Amino acid sequence: MKEQKTMDICLLGASGSVGESTLKVLRQFPDAFRLHSCSVHSNEDKAKAIIDEFSPQVLVVTSKKAKRTLGTRYKNSKIYYGEEALLDIVSATEVDIVVTAIVGSAGIFPTTKAIESGKKIAIANKETLVTFGPYINGLLQKHPVAMIPVDSEHNALFQLLEDRQGIDTLVLTASGGTFRDLPLEKFKDITLEQALKHPTWSMGPKITIDSAGMVNKGLEVIEAHFLFGFPYEKIEVVIHPESIVHGIVALQDGASLLYASHPDMIFPIAHSLFYPEKVPALLLERKAHTWGALHFRSPEAARYPALPLAYAAGKRSGTAPAIFNAANEEAVSQFIAGNIQFVHIPQLIDASLQGLEISDSPDLQGYLEADQNARQFVADRVKKGML
């Protein structure tokens, strides 16, 4: 293999679930990648552990409290505070690859700055793509950087689509979440603790709740549209409870190609970091004989009302996907805070899409306003008990 330069990584959201899996890849390939810089929001313990192990040049904290307790310098690493500092680390000259593993649409400014600075991007932060898709795609036309999806389904599709002709439809697989077999009459009693258990993936709390109601798959349908340019009619979802097959491309002749792996984010992360090179070593032992039977079925609309809402928002376009995403982010926070029931989440998304004005071709400010308005709309409704 030809000698590669060690790539400098800027990892946003280093303390989260994707952040942790990314650090695992860096640990496995110390000659290929070095942690130049990273960010955490408030997790001081993880920040300290990362500094001790990886000695990044800069660590950015975005919550005031963590900044106070971490100080400004810790061993060999500088510690900076705030969103401006995120823009500085993603655009630092030394950085080759930016991994965006922040949760929520807060990822927008670092992502745009990374694109404008010509960095290769491994994008996990799907909320940014869903909210600002056309804006990001416009920026990518001006600054054609490589943006590799880390989301497992999209990473699988990205690999299946490479150098291939004659593809008709993209199929995203979905585990169906933790309530895939729960009788519908029990949905009103779902607790936070139950919603935080995922049957196959280990992930952060917000995406785990998103997965339970398939809001996550709705976000992913819109994400796939913006990443690959397929119309919504050509993006399908199939429930696959075992989470072994991550993406399917259906060919024009009626046959399909499938991408399969053990459900571990190490695969899409390593792929996106090494891209366009191939991952040069075994990541996890392939144990196809342990997969057992693989099942596929259609999602029922009554169980997953957020999925048709996502398709409708995607097809409506303009600020509708931003409203879908922000209403969900606020509703999930309200559910975590114990203010609403699980079943209220899709209802609040629906009410936001019905009740808020949708702008057809907004600029960046228009998307940001739509995002803020939807959060406010949901918060107000919850406060007034309009559920």
Is there binding between residue 42 and ligand NDP (CB under 6 A)? Answer: yes
Chain mean position to CA 25: 18
Dmax of the chain from CA atoms? 63
Nearer to Mg ion, 87 or 222 (CB): 222
Among ligand NDP, Mg ion, none, the one that 203 touches (CB under a kind-dependent 5 to 8 A) is: ligand NDP
Strands in 41-163 per DSSP E? 58-61, 73-74, 77-81, 97-100, 120-123, 147-149
**CB nearest Mg ion: which residue?**
151
When the beta carbons of 92 and 251 are compared against ligand NDP, the nearer one is 92
| 106 touches ligand NDP by CB under 6 A | yes
Cα separation, 176 vs 305, whole angstroms: 13
Applying CB under 6 A, among 22, 125, 159, 333 the residue interacting with ligand NDP is: 125
At closest approach, how far in Å is the CB of 42 from ligand NDP? 4
Q: Which stretch binds ligand NDP (CB under 6 A): 202-210, 269-277, 313-321, 362-370?
A: 202-210
Contact call for residue 18 and ligand NDP (CB under 6 A): yes
Burial readout 56-81 (b: 16 or more C-beta within 10 A, e: otherwise): bbbbbbbeeebbeebeeeeeebebbb
For residues 317 to 346, the per-residue mask of contacts with Mg ion, x marking binding by CB under 5 A and - elsewhere, is ------------------------------
The whole-angstrom separation of Cα 265 and Cα 269 is: 6
Whole-number minimum distance, CB 183 to ligand NDP, in Å?
28
Round to whole Å and give the CA distance between 354 and 309: 11
Residue number, 337 or 386, with CB nearest to ligand NDP: 337
Q: How far is the CB of 118 from ligand NDP (least distance, A)?
A: 23
Report CA torsion sign: 79, 82, 86, 91.
negative
Can you point out the beta strands (E) in the chain? 7-12, 33-40, 58-61, 73-74, 77-81, 97-100, 120-123, 147-149, 167-174, 235-239, 245-251, 256-260
> From residue 324, how far is each of 139, 310, 311 by CA, in Å?
22, 7, 10
Q: Is 103 in the site for ligand NDP (CB under 6 A)?
A: yes
298 to 327, contacts with ligand NDP by CB under 6 A? none
Q: Kindly identify the residues of this chain, within the stretch 55-94, that bind ligand NDP according to CB under 6 A.
A: 62
Residue nearest to ligand NDP (CB): 16
Identify the H or E element spanning 364.
helix 364-383
Q: Select the residue interacting with ligand NDP from 8, 15, 239, 334 (CB under 6 A).
A: 15
Residue 203 touching ligand NDP (CB under 6 A): yes
Q: Which of 8, 10, 13, 327 contacts ligand NDP by CB under 6 A? A: 13
Beta carbon nearer to Mg ion, 153 or 329: 153
Does position 28 interact with ligand NDP (CB under 6 A)? The reply is no
Interface with Mg ion (CB under 5 A), residue from 10, 60, 115, 151:
151
Q: How many residues interact with ligand NDP (rule CB under 6 A)?
A: 28
> In a 10 Å sphere around its CB, with 0-12 CB exposed, 13-18 middle and 19+ buried, how is residue 193 labelled?
exposed
Q: CA–CA separation, 263 vs 245, rounded Å?
A: 9
Q: How far is CA 325 from CA 8, 100, 128, in A?
A: 32, 17, 9
State the distance between the two ends of the chain, measured CA to CA, in whole angstroms. 60
H/E stretch holding 273 reads helix 266-274
* Segment interacting with Mg ion, rule: CB under 5 A, options 10-18, 83-91, 138-146, 147-155: 147-155
Which of 10, 102, 160, 249 is close enough to bind ligand NDP by CB under 6 A?
Answer: 102
- Contact residues toward ligand NDP (CB under 6 A) are 13-19, 40-43, 62, 101-103, 106, 124-127, 151, 201, 203-207, 265
- Contact residues toward Mg ion (CB under 5 A) are 151-153
